[in-house]
Amino acid sequence: MNKRINIGLTIGDPAGIGYEVALKFLEQLYYSDISTIDYDITLFCHRFILDKAINDIFDNKYPSDFNSKLKIVEPDNVDPFDFEYGENSIECGNASMQYIKKAVEYAQNGLIDAIVTLPINKYSISLAGYDFVGHTEYLAHLTGCKDISMMMMSNDFKIVLITTHLPLKDVAKAVTKQKIVTAIQNAHNTGRFFGFDFDTNKPKIAVCSLNPHAGDSGAIGFEEIDLINPTIDETRENGINVHGSFPADTIYTDKTYDFFIAMYHDQALIPIKLNSFGEAVNVTLGLNIIRTSVDHGTAFNIAGKGVASISSLIKAVDIAKLMIMNKQVDKNK
């Protein structure tokens, strides 16, 4: 019999909407008549900030037993600090990264089964001295996993990115054979987490082209001819059900594919957000732990106002649960 699932939730930047979203989600989880709790949530946060959010945003209107239901793990540094909602700061940037570090420690020691992350602020973490552009890169550093990929998913799409947060002028040089292979391999391997039985079926993967019209036989660029298509062919010969490259403006209309590989950020995020804005999920592939995340940022413009939505967090937790359960099934085969 499998043990009860325990999901770690990192609260993100204290000046953003993370604490608010987490509190709303947990209130619904613990007190909704239609909610069936079949998993545990462990919060990685500062208790003093959680209490501040309950007071500032919700006027202490939570039930008297609410705090007693919370399982909280604080970072090593728990000294209180001042901050303003919607403002960048060294303290908030450092706190958000401490939450992630502690959660990874718990995941690697088997104390939680997955990590779900709420948003950090890239400028605040840079102020705090962290040389990472986001969660994905920091998680790779903490786990020692190098061949990682970012996947954005909605009800209709699972899109793996070859490059992430780069200026468009730098994308072509950043698309390498190794990155293409890594993205394809990670998409293939991740099929196990979504119920694919590799003895009977494998995920079908489509790769987007870099150039419009897949380069149009070299008229609009040679990257497809020289690099992308040969790499796809080589990977297919290794037993992966991968196809392409295809023009990105049409391939997403083909619903026969289980995963798509995008060359750059907006090539993936535009279809995802048109399809399911506010309800999409970010999954980091290639880690030795499970990590999902919401599809939105810190939303400094509405932080502290009590109006943030929990829809993406609900989806991120659901996907984490699905991945945990399928991992357990796969392990027991």
pLDDT number for residue 1: 41
**Between 69 and 269, residue with greater pLDDT:** 269
Question: Would you list the DSSP string of 265-310?
Answer: HHHHHHHHHHHHTTS-EEEEES-SS-EEEESS---TTTTTSS----
What crossing angle do the helices spanning 47-58 and 18-31 adopt, rounded to 10°?
Answer: 80
pTM: 0.88
Measuring CA to CA, how many Å separate 275 from each of 117, 152, 247, 250, 283? 22, 12, 19, 15, 17
What span, in angstroms and rounded, lies between the C-alpha atoms of 285 and 299?
25
State pLDDT tens for residues 60-81. 677 777 777 889 999 988 789 9
Superfamily of the domain at 146-286: Isopropylmalate Dehydrogenase (3.40.718.10)
Confidence band, pLDDT 50/70/90 cuts, at residue 280: confident
The answer on pLDDT for 132 being more than 90 is no
> Percent of the chain, pLDDT > 70?
94
State pLDDT tens for residues 143-181. 999 899 999 998 889 999 999 888 889 999 999 999 999
Which of 68-72, 234-238, 325-329 shows the highest mean pLDDT? 234-238
**Between 300 and 58, residue with greater pLDDT:** 300
State pLDDT tens for residues 22-66. 999 988 887 765 556 778 899 999 999 998 888 888 776 777 777
The answer on pLDDT for 2 being more than 60 is no
Average pLDDT over the chain, rounded to an integer: 89
Confidence band, pLDDT 50/70/90 cuts, at residue 196: confident
pLDDT number for residue 35: 55
**Average pLDDT score over residue span 85-105:** 95
Domain ranges of the chain: 1-145+288-333, 146-286
Q: Which fold has domain 1-145+288-333?
A: Isopropylmalate Dehydrogenase (3.40.718)
